[in-house]
């Protein structure tokens, strides 16, 4: 068994492969019974989409409409470079290839069609990428939910996952950075950091219980896992005001999740996008910080 060489991920930075990953290259369609054929391609990533993913993976970036921006392939190359340097390329690929990212392509079909089309589409895309890597003697391999670029036929030793240490100092650091974004009128980035903070805290306390966090990308699903694992459901024996507070926490999670879906820089501007004022952004950051601190307190008590 050999360790995966993280530098080998740089082979994915060719323009041909980037054109596949950003959704520019298509490989025909999959016919369906309802006549609404499914395009075999990665989801199309706009400039704002890629900037949002950059921010999500720790390199804040924003897209200025009508301003001077990099091309889409340059943004994605920057994303790959950052992920490789920080040992997150497998995580990035898992994110890009996750079923949730194919929502727009696959929605409107039966569950069976979605499952089949998703598997066929991602398999074909990986085969096409491997066709480009073939003459260099390399391939993109998927083991479980981890992605590797390796020599064809070689084996990769998978390190046991390590739980990232998250404490109150970490929460404070993220919050300070989010407030710095607000001071610079970058409210979208502040919202993204708030959502990411909750997601990371939820994943941390789930892993502390020896469980695997939901891979759906749904922050609500993660919070449900936390509630189940730490028995945080409302109890009739509690003071009703405590139960009201717990109910309020659920609304915070739901609201921040929705805010990120519609308003943060992780998604392009659309007709449903709503402007966020400074006081709203401050409320979101402070609410996520309070929520994250509460969840850590619960974990400390139950540990």
At residue 118, the pLDDT reads: 92
Distance CA 230, CA 150 (A): 40
131 domain residue, yes or no: yes
At residue 245, the pLDDT reads: 82
Residue 104 sits in the same domain as residue 250? no
Residue 174 sits in the same domain as residue 288? yes
Pairing of strands 138-143, 146-151: antiparallel
Tokens of 57: 């993976």
Least confident range of 28-37, 120-129, 179-188, 189-198: 28-37
Q: Which domain holds residue 246?
A: 168-302
At residue 2, the pLDDT reads: 39
Residue 28 sits in the same domain as residue 141? yes
Residue 227 sits in the same domain as residue 252? yes
Instruction: Please check the confidence at residue 3 and state whether its pLDDT lies above 50.
Output: no
pLDDT in tens, 215-231: 666 788 888 899 889 88
Residue that wins the pLDDT comparison between 198 and 272: 198
User: Model's pTM, two decimal places?
Assistant: 0.53
Residue 151 sits in the same domain as residue 280? no
The number of distinct structural domains making up the chain is 2
Cβ–Cβ < 8 Å for 193, 177: yes
pLDDT in tens, 91-101: 999 999 998 89
Q: Which residues contact 112 (CB under 8 A, 6 or more apart)?
A: none
Residue 31 sits in the same domain as residue 103? yes
Cβ–Cβ < 8 Å for 30, 102: no
Residue 179 sits in the same domain as residue 112? no
Residue 148 sits in the same domain as residue 176? no
Closest to 77 measured CA to CA, from 14, 137, 1: 14
Burial of 262 from C-beta contacts in 10 A (0-12 / 13-18 / 19+): middle
């Amino acid at each position: 068994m050999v360790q995966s060489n993280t530098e080998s991920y740089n082979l994915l930075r060719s323009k041909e492969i980037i054109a596949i990953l950003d959704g520019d290259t298509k490989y025909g369609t999959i016919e369906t019974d309802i006549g609404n054929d499914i395009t075999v391609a990665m989801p199309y990533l706009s400039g704002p989409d890629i900037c949002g993913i950059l921010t999500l993976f720790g390199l804040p970036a924003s897209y200025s409409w009508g301003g001077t921006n990099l091309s889409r392939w340059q943004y994605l190359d920057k994303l790959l470079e950052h992920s490789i340097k920080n040992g997150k390329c497998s995580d990035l690929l898992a994110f890009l290839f996750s079923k949730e990212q194919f929502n727009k392509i696959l929605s409107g079909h039966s569950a069976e069609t979605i499952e089949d089309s998703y598997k066929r589409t991602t398999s074909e895309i990986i085969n096409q990428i491997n066709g480009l890597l073939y003459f260099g003697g390399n391939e993109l391999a998927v083991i479980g939910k981890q992605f590797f670029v390796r020599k064809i036929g070689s084996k990769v030793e998978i390190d046991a996952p390590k739980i990232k240490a998250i404490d109150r100092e970490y929460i404070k650091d993220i919050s300070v950075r989010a407030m710095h974004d607000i001071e610079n009128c970058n409210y979208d980035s502040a919202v993204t950091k708030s959502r990411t903070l909750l997601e990371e805290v939820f994943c941390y306390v789930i892993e502390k219980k020896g469980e695997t966090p939901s891979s759906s990308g749904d922050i609500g699903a993660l919070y449900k896992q936390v509630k189940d694992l730490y028995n945080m459901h409302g109890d009739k024996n509690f003071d009703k005001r405590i139960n009201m507070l717990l109910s309020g926490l659920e609304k915070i999670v739901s609201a921040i999740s929705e805010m990120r879906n519609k308003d943060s820089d992780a998604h392009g501007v659309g007709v449903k996008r709503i402007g966020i004022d400074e006081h709203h952004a401050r409320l979101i950051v402070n609410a996520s910080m309070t929520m994250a601190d509460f969840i850590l307190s619960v974990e400390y008590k139950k540990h």
